[in-house]
Amino acid sequence: MRAGGPLQMGGLGLGGLLLILLLGYATGSDPLQLLTQVSSQLDTAMVDPASEGGAGLGGAPEDEAGRFASAILADTEDTWTAIFERGGSRYPQPTLVLFSDAVQSACGLSSSAVGPFYCPADSKVYIDLTFHRELSDRFGAPGDFARAYVIAHEVGHHVQNVLGFFEAARRQGGGQASANDLSIRQELQADCFAGVWGHSAAARDLLEPGDVEEGLAAAAALGDDRIQRQSQGYVTPESWTHGSSTQRLEWFRRGLDSGDPDTCDTFRS
């Protein structure tokens, strides 16, 4: 995948506990273990869109993975800014935080076991750079576009936050089954929004042969059913929080094919 344009530095409110329970599951880790895990090393780099030149905590990222993440985030900003402007509104850009080992967010302390996540309480996209290697080695989804899909998915959560979906979810009651269903719908919509960005990137000739297949492989690899088979040897659909491989593929492909966020309403499907 080619990251288009010059490198730009740009850049659930459910609390740290729920963040770990919902987002930590994407790695197949035991949520109880995540709650007790405390890392002794904090290594973060923040990219602040309000800071000209990209200066922030730790300065601009200097390694390849950091530069790649920043470039992809900047490209998602171009895409969503244009979409929001066509709708007559302004897209508030998120802040990118690159970390390894552990990071403190407004949603609480998160270890690298949680992987990449979005915190609506501070409108920041947190990217664990070590997850890129895990995506390839553990989940069998290598390639630049697979990495870009993960970033675009977390940006999709930011778009949800801006559009009010997180607030609506916070107000909705119900038991655990309802909470899991709501989480799945949020994750699938973020997949669809990631596909909307992918459609834009393809329209601007930023994709190379095989990129779409990499993104689809990543979406499928992070399905709850596949992760459960890998981690525990069997599938328990009642505990899903992100959706099956088939569902994630379907919604990512829907956004990728249409390029229209209006096709991403998982809450009415």
CA atoms of 147 and 73, how far apart (whole Å): 11
CA distance 58 to 47: 9
Q: Where are the domains of the chain?
A: 15-259
pLDDT tens, position by position, 137-149: 777 766 788 889 9
Q: What is the pLDDT of residue 236?
A: 94
Cβ contacts of 213 within 8 Å, gap of 6 or more? none
What separation, in Å, do the N-terminal and C-terminal C-alpha atoms of the chain show? Answer: 32
Q: Which amino acid is at 267?
A: F
Q: What is the mean predicted confidence (pLDDT) over 82-107? A: 94
Q: What is the reported pLDDT for 11?
A: 31
Rounded to whole angstroms, the Cα distance separating 50 from 26 reads 31
User: Would the pLDDT of 101 be above 60?
Assistant: yes
Does the structure show a pLDDT above 60 at 14?
A: no
How is 37-89 classified by DSSP, letter by letter?
Answer: ---S--EEEEE-TTSGGG--TT-S--SHHHHHHHHHHHHHHHHHHHHHHHTTS
Of 249, 45, 44, residue with least CA distance to 141? 249
Compute the average pLDDT of residues 126-152.
81
Greater confidence (15 vs 99) lies with: 99
> According to the model, what pLDDT value does residue 173 have?
60
User: HSE-up of 239 (CA within 13 Å, CB side)?
Assistant: 15
Q: What's 94's DSSP letter?
A: P
pLDDT tens profile 229-261: 988 999 999 999 999 999 999 999 999 999 999
User: pLDDT value at position 243?
Assistant: 93
pLDDT at residue 97, rounded to an integer: 94
267: left (phi over 0), alpha (psi -120 to 50) or beta: alpha
> Which has the closest alpha carbon to 255: 215, 223, 225?
215
Q: Three-class SS of residue 100?
A: strand
Residue 44 has pLDDT above 60, yes or no: no
Tokens of 163: 């559009």
Q: Is the pLDDT of residue 3 over 60?
A: no
- Read off the pLDDT of each residue in 56-61 and give the average, rounded to a whole number: 41
**Which structure tokens are listed for 133?**
């290697």
* Torsion of the alpha carbons at 130, 133, 135 and 138, rounded to the nearest 10: -110
Measured distance CA(241)–CA(187) in Å, rounded: 8
- Token match 């599951």: residue? 25
Of the two residues 209 and 169, the one the predictor is more confident about is 209
Check: CB of residue 213 under 8 Å from CB of residue 149: no
Phi-psi domain of 128 (left: phi exceeds 0; alpha: psi -120 through 50; beta: other): beta
Burial 230-255 (b: 16+ CB within 10 A, else e): eeeeebeeeebbbbbbebbbbbbbbb
Whether residue 107 is predicted with pLDDT greater than 70 in this model: the reply is yes
How confident is the model over 191-200, as pLDDT tens digits?
A: 999 999 999 9
Residue 219, pLDDT > 90, answer no
Per-residue confidence (pLDDT) for residue 174, from 0 to 100: 60
Question: What's the pLDDT at 96?
Answer: 95
